[in-house]
Amino acid sequence: MIISQTPVRISFFGGGSDFPEYFEKNPASVLSTSINKYAYLTVGYLSGFFDYRIKVTYSKSETVSRVGEIRHPAVRACLEHLGIEANIEINYFSDLPARTGLGTSSSFVVGLLNALHAYQGRRVSTRQLAREAVLVERELVRENVGCQDQYAAAFGGFNYISFRPEGDIRVEPVVCPPGRLEALDGNLMLFYTGIQRYSEDIQKHHVARLSDNTAHLARMVGLAKRALEVVGSEREDLDEFGRLLHEGWELKKSLGTRVSNPEIDAMYSAARSAGALGGKLLGAGGGGFLLLYAGEKNRDSVREALKNRLEVDFRFERYGSHIIFFDPDKLGHPGAKG
């Protein structure tokens, strides 16, 4: 048996610029971090005692004879991509629900690819994991997704990720004074809106409007660069990070891609009135998690203002996707063709 552990991420600035439709023509970058909430994938050998040859368990359970019969598109694509045809069991579970703006779908794909490579007896680099996850999601499954989540999940850590027109994606760990990231971590709060949504329609609308929103996206990329300066300096007031979040959220709403709604706007307004300097809805929008920046003296009042919403305690993490359990004695014949 093999178990992979892959973090989800919080994207602070520059989201939306990570689509090739944008960065192949324009400078693009995001500032993001992985957090200590994880997707877990277990992969094991399925013996020939059953009347099915593949078992996949997520929110549903599938037992099939051929890869092509698997209904879950990402699982089917990953198995086809790596040439695994039979005698395999896959199980998925997560610390947080899906469709909540934390990049869980990309964490799922990265973690599954990591576990499947190990199942076939290979250790692959974080960069290869990220590249293959982009391939699976964008080209094989053909989803309207950007390219930041796969790299955040594979690499882990607090990173400035830049996207080049020629397709090169550079992941730079943020260098900052001692204690700076810990202080930022302590000033951030995460609340669940209670709304789960499929981001496909929102992302499709975003891609369709990229040419109209070029100037706004350029400003959002500029905020990512400015926030990097704030985090990396011991002279800058860290509260500027919160004010930049507010500016970025206002910009994101102006893109006209249905990222917010009256319920979310009311939550955000209540948090701001209670002392939060800024924040944003994570992911494509429409629901999921609301991230807020509030100094120590205002955190209790923000909690009171949002007392009907679930607060999720989290910490930054820096390890990315990795194999946390590997037992070759229980693998049977890894990658068996059947």
108-153 pLDDT tens trace: 999 999 999 999 999 999 999 999 999 999 999 999 899 999 999 9
Residue 335: pLDDT band by 50, 70, 90 thresholds? very low
The secondary structure of the chain in percent helix, strand, coil, rounded to multiples of 5, reads 40, 25, 40
Residues 163 and 189 placed together within one structural domain of the fold = no
Same domain? For 144 and 10 the reply is yes
Query: What is the domain range of residue 291?
Result: 180-315
Residue 47, domain CATH: 3.30.230.10
**Quick one: average pLDDT of 4-33?**
95
Statement to judge: residues 83 and 147 lie in one domain: yes
Task: Kindly state whether residues 141 and 200 are assigned to the same domain.
Answer: no
- The domain tally of the chain equals 2
Residues 105 and 7 grouped into a single domain: yes
Q: Which residue has the higher pLDDT, 250 or 200?
A: 250
Is 249 a member of any domain?
yes
Q: Are residues 187 and 160 part of one domain?
A: no
Task: Flag whether pLDDT at 262 surpasses 60.
Answer: yes
Cα(278)–Cα(235) distance, rounded to whole angstroms? 21
147 and 19 within one domain: yes
Percent of the chain clearing pLDDT 70 (strictly above): 91
164 or 5: which carries more pLDDT confidence? 5
Q: Is 336 a member of any domain? A: no
Encode 74-89: b = buried (16+ Cβ within 10 Å), e = exposed. Answer: bbbbbbeebebbbbbb
**Tens of pLDDT, residues 76-96:** 999 999 999 999 999 999 999
Asked if residue 335 is part of any domain, the answer here is no
Instruction: Report the pLDDT value the prediction gives residue 269, as an integer from 0 to 100.
Output: 97
For 167-219, write each residue's pLDDT tens digit: 789 999 999 999 999 999 999 999 999 886 555 555 665 565 676 789 989 99
Q: Are residues 150 and 71 in the same domain?
A: yes
Residues 159 and 275 in one domain: no
Q: Is residue 338 part of a domain?
A: no
